[in-house]
A = this chain, B = another copy of it.
């Protein structure tokens, strides 16, 4: 009965179609922008119908967010790999900075071009930014669970893990934002994020340089 291992020609074909759609989508997005690219164009470029596109992705935004999906998975994995005796915020800081570096340097299978592409798309398309933020919010629940585990707390009754996870994610977002605005000159995301977490550590009140 072998439960039908998912390794046939059909599955491979599906995978290829999916990758092809993502690939042509990013190419078109980079060339014409997010809004100006229609689903039909993406589908045509892979020679499938737009109806098929929507069988692979729930929305036009969704195809761009596959990147963030991977980012998120990598983040959870990296967090799990950090030493258990590390203070929670330190662990999160190292994890976030590590993922940022991976995205920018193309480590761990991340495509730095797509990463940069996505960064500029987010700046120009509010629909995409909105979806991205929603995605982060949804995934924040996972992070909250992971954080709660690590701290030995129950997320159903303790606010602490919620606040910690939210702080980590928003610090990352704030760093991305600040980087786009060039607040730290042309520092990369990893550096900016590291500085942002440092501010969390040092406290906000002693800003007297």
Residues of A bordering B, CB below 8 Å: 87-89, 126, 129-131, 133-134, 137, 140, 151-153, 155-160, 162-167, 169-171, 173-175, 177-178, 181, 183-184, 192, 195-196, 199-200, 204-205, 207
In angstroms, Cα B151 to Cα A140, docked, is 30
A126 cross-chain contacts in B, Cβ below 8 A: 134
Q: Within the complex, which residue of B134, B164, B181 is in contact with A130, where a contact is CB–CB below 8 Å?
A: B134
The answer to whether B204 touches A164 (Cβ under 8 A) is yes
Known: A88-B204, A130-B130, A133-B130. A166 touches B170 (CB 8 A): yes
The answer to whether A174 touches B199 (Cβ under 8 A) is no
In angstroms, Cα B178 to Cα A177, docked, is 25
* Other 6 A-B pairs with CB < 8 A, given A155-B183, A166-B170: A133-B137, A137-B173, A160-B207, A164-B199, A165-B174, A169-B170
Known: A129-B137, A133-B134. A183 touches B158 (CB 8 A): yes
The answer to whether B162 touches A178 (Cβ under 8 A) is yes
